[in-house]
Each structure stands twice: as C-alpha cells, then as structure tokens.
C-alpha cells in the first residue's frame, strides 16, 4: 500500500519476544534483563523500548506467547461439573510447568486470546449447571483465584525446600505449638511439611466447583431436574 515514513525497523516486537523467550528458557527469568536482551539481539537497551513499553509488559507478552504455544485443549467430558474441573486442571498443568509464571501473575491476569477458550469452557460448564452468566464469571474467577493461589504457594514451598538450610524457622514455630491452646494444629504439627507437600489441587478444585454449582438448577443443554 502506502510507503511507511521514517527509518525502516531493524528489529521487531516478535523478535524481541522470541529472544526473551529463549533467554528465559535457557537461563531462567532472573537472567532476562533489558541489557542482556539487547546484547543478544545485537542492539542497544533503548531500542527495545520502541517495541515494548517496559520490562513488566515484556513479561506479560512472554506469558501470552507461552499460553499460545503450550495450552493444549483437553477432551471435554459431558458432565458440566467435570468439564470445569478438567479445563481448570489443564490451565494449571500448563502454567505450573513454567516456573517463572509467578513473576507475571502478580503483574497481570492471564487473559490472552489463547486463554479465552478455557474461560469459555469453564463458564459454559457453570452455566449448564444452572448459573446465570454473571454468576459464571464470578465462578470462573473463583476457580482462577484458587488456581493462582495454589501455583504461587506451591512455587514458594518448592523454593523454600530448595534452600535447605531454611527449615529451622517454620519448624521452630510448629515445635513450640501449645497443644492446650491450639489442639488441632498440634495434632498435625509434626507432619505439616509432609501434608502440605501433597498435591491436593484437584480435591480442592472439586470442592470449589461442587460448592459453586450446588443449589443451582441445571439447564442450558444439560440434564434437567424436576422444577
């Protein structure tokens, strides 16, 4: 069409994101700096700022890129409640595999084009269980909160276990628990680390989805109960 005015670009946003992805994959998110990225791309730090607003935005672009490449759509069960569970678990499985995710989740939501299919399925399952569209949005959000929280707490726990000199502090708190004052906690204090290391994501998710859909009367294509 029309001749673009000004100097032709030497690097592109796609190239910036791609190079950033390579650095993060190979060396971890800590090694991704604007200077390092510029060097890798054969340019200067400031050239990057013509293609991404700032570093935080770059991280969000990286997450969207990751989602587009890695979020594979699972087979959908017929039961709407189970559908919500399966889809949420698929989101979590994909995101949990990418260790730098926590950096981005604290900066922004996952709400790229690639992710919307998953949102659609969760909302659809909830609506089929009898929730109104607005309630389904809030239901989706509840599932998302639970999933984000699980990923972040798990990542923190893993990091803590990696720095293996650290146990002392938490363990001391638990060792000093007064069984008269805190009988329930005292009962499990010794096994706390072991119990919280278990992966119970699915159990909690099922409970949440059950709770969200209990009491709503199903409709919208699913089985229907007597009114």
Partner DNA sequence: ACCTGAACACCGTTCAAGT
Contacts with a second copy, residue ranges (CB under 8 A)? 102, 105-109, 111-113, 116-117, 119-120, 123-124, 127, 133-134, 136-139, 141-142, 144-150, 152-153, 155-157, 159-160, 170, 173, 176-177, 181-185, 187-188, 192, 195-196, 198, 200, 203-204, 206-212, 214
By beta-carbon proximity to DNA, the closer residue of 6 and 227 is: 6
Region of 216 (left: φ > 0; alpha: ψ -120 to 50; beta: rest) is beta
Rounded to the nearest 10°, the torsion over CA 72, 132, 222, 211 is 80
Q: Which two tokens stand for residue 129?
A: 């269980």
Region of 169 (left: φ > 0; alpha: ψ -120 to 50; beta: rest) is alpha
The yes or no reply on residue 7 touching DNA (CB under 7 A) is yes
Q: Using CB atoms within 10 A of its CB, is residue 143 exposed (0-12), middle (13-18) or buried (19+)?
A: buried
By beta-carbon proximity to DNA, the closer residue of 54 and 120 is: 54
How many residues line the site for DNA (CB under 7 A)?
25
Residue tagged 């922004």 (tokens): 108
d(CA 72, CA 132): 28
The yes or no reply on residue 137 touching DNA (CB under 7 A) is no
By beta-carbon proximity to a second copy, the closer residue of 32 and 127 is: 127
x-or-dash string of contact with DNA, 29-68, rule CB under 7 A: --xxxxxx------xxxxx-xxx--xxx------------
160 binds, among a second copy, DNA, none (CB under 5 to 8 A by kind): a second copy
127 binds, among DNA, a second copy, none (CB under 5 to 8 A by kind): a second copy
69: Cα separation from own chain's centroid? 15
Stretch that binds DNA, among 28-36, 102-110, 117-125, 159-167 (CB under 7 A): 28-36
Q: Are 122 and 137 in contact (CB under 8 A)?
A: no
Q: Which residue from 1, 5, 168, 172 is in contact with DNA, where contact means CB under 7 A?
A: 5
Q: Are 65 and 47 in contact (CB under 8 A)?
A: no
């Amino acid at each position: 069409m029309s001749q673009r005015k000004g100097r032709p670009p030497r690097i592109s946003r796609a190239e910036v994101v791609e190079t950033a992805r390579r650095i993060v994959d190979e060396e971890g998110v800590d090694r991704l700096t604007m200077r390092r990225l510029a060097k890798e791309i054969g340019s200067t730090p400031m050239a990057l700022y013509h293609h991404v607003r700032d570093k935080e935005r770059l991280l969000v672009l990286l997450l969207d890129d990751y989602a587009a490449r890695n979020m594979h759509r699972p087979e959908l069960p017929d039961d709407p409640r189970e559908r919500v569970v399966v889809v949420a678990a698929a989101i979590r499985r994909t995101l949990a595999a990418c260790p730098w995710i926590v950096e981005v989740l604290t900066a922004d939501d996952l709400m790229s084009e690639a992710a919307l299919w998953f949102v659609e399925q969760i909302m659809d399952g909830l609506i089929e269980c009898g929730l109104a569209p607005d309630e389904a949005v809030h239901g989706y959000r509840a599932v998302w909160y639970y999933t984000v929280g699980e990923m972040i707490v798990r990542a923190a726990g893993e990091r803590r276990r990696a720095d293996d000199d650290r146990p002392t502090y938490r363990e001391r708190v638990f060792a000093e628990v007064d069984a008269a004052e805190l009988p329930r906690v005292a009962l499990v204090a010794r096994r706390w680390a072991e119990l919280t290391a278990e992966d119970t994501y699915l159990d909690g998710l099922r409970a949440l989805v059950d709770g969200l859909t209990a009491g709503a009367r199903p409709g919208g294509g699913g089985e229907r109960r007597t009114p």
